[in-house]
Amino acid sequence: MFLLLLFLAFAVCSELPEFTTDDFNVRVIEKPNTLVMFYAPWCGHCKKLKPSFIAAGKRLAAMTDNIALALVDCTAQEGICGEFGVKGYPTIKLFKDGKHVHDFDGARDEEGIVNYMLKRSKPVLHELSDAKQLADMLESPGAGKQPVIVAYIESSRKGWLESFKELASELLMDASFAQAQVPNVLDVVDSKSLVRLYRPKNMLSRSDESSVDFDGEWTKEGLKDWIFKNSYGLVGYRTPENEKFFSKNNLLVFYHNASLDSHAKGVNYFRNRLIKLIQSTGDVRTQLTFAYSCSDDYLHELSELGFPSTTDYPVVALFFRGKKYKLENYTPESFVKFLENFMTGSLIPHVKSEEIPTEQKGAVVKVVAHTFDSVVNDPSKDVFVIFHAPWCGHCKHLMPKFETAAEKLKDEPDILFAAVDATANDVPEPFLVHGYPTLYFVSKLSKEAPKQYEGGREVDDLINFVARESSQELRGYNRMGVAKKSEL
């Protein structure tokens, strides 16, 4: 009886449908737009998110008949969870007419889920039949903070229309897309196909044109690249919501403590000054993307750059090809000099690094950013390196085993075990660290192509991997990781 009451209490508490492996394909098509949360009852993140997910489901059910939210318990429904490749919890996926179309990438709170589904449930393309409909669209609240892209596409260009629709679906959360049904919506000359981007009116600087026409070769990727480069002007206002438009591969950011919401005139004063300075400095604008960001939105990023919480703004940071550069004492003159030094290749990168260890203890070498190249890229060594975090439970569990494997192989002349605290040291390219622990084997025969370790977490697993991957066969182990017998 107690278990029955507990089950009933849980069912009432959830108030969202629970799909099973057997009924999933039938129930997921009951609504045109269904957001499904795959979870495990023991998962702490799931327990935290579930009330917000349920509350969002209630709100959306009261607002529209086109949207449903549902749950799948993966501990009981392994079949359907395996079919959709669910490997972690919670995993949230959007289905349209029963087809999986997106993994959820919105804010994981009630408001974020509601806003995500309201936008995702709307048509991918607005259809415009006259100039007034376009004007109304450009006056809508969304057009104030996101770009609007409108295309007139000749009827003979069906392939172009399909690629435009695909791009609209891909960027639905970041921009609004529309199709002009007749040429005069955009004042098209000679009825030729045309794409026009209208920049967000609330984010325009005085120097920005309000719209720009596409003049490149029509491909989906070419159009996407053009949208990303042109949506926010020469010095765009960068926020956590639109930062995907500002690639960190070639980005210069001007940070100040004023925001558009709190002090729009001050923000745009600085943006206009920056535009003039950039335009006066050769062809730097062809190599970099420029942005203004409110410091309050990017305190973590500023901390990673070594700017203290007491920083006197404005400051400047440059992200270029995996390296970071910074300008602390901003003046118009120092900014121009900073750009000139970038153009001549004389800027010195900023590297976040712990102090270089004065001594090493044990068989695992502690590596910091300042010693990474000399240790990990030592051409005489194969290096097995672990990137870890001090607070990571999985790291604490693995590290003693990593140290034991290192101890067993300490007499191998070509093998070195190394450890990097990735929270306190910059991780250079081409190493990618998205979670902890992450391990790589760096062969002395191919330092430019480290191999990520994805094997077991026991001592023998680690030794077997090193024995197999080492550039030369180990003295104490064969290629299978079996210890060689000592000669008498």
Q: Which residues contact 232 (CB under 8 A, 6 or more apart)?
A: 147, 199, 200, 203, 238, 242, 245, 246, 291
End-to-end alpha carbon distance in the chain: 71
Per-residue exposure over 300-328, b if at least 16 CB sit within 10 Å of its own CB, e if not:
ebbeebebeeebeebbbbbbbeeebbbbe
Strands in 99-103's sheet, in edge-to-edge order, are 67-73, 33-39, 91-96, 99-103
Phi-psi domain of 146 (left: phi exceeds 0; alpha: psi -120 through 50; beta: other): beta
Identified catalytic residue from 13, 43, 74, 81: 43
Measured CA distances, 376 to 351, 457, 464, 484 (Å) = 16, 22, 20, 27
Cα distances from 190 to residues 69, 160, 180, 193, 218, in angstroms, run 47, 18, 15, 9, 18
- Whether 395 is a known active-site residue: answer yes
> What residues have CB less than 8 Å from 331, skipping those under 6 apart?
none
Q: At residue 264, what is the residue type? A: A
Residue whose structure tokens are 């719209």: 211
For residue 90, cis peptide bond before it (omega within 30 degrees of 0) = yes
Catalytic member of 13, 46, 74, 294: 46
Integer CA distances (angstroms), 485 to 410, 464, 476, in order? 17, 16, 8
Amino acid identity of residue 67, one-letter, is I
**Catalytic residue check, 46:** yes
Residue 392 among the catalytic residues: yes
Q: Is 13 a catalytic residue?
A: no
Assign 426 to helix, strand or coil: coil
Residues 74, 81, 294, 395: which is the catalytic one? Answer: 395
d(CA 447, CA 385): 13
Active site residues: 43, 46, 392, 395
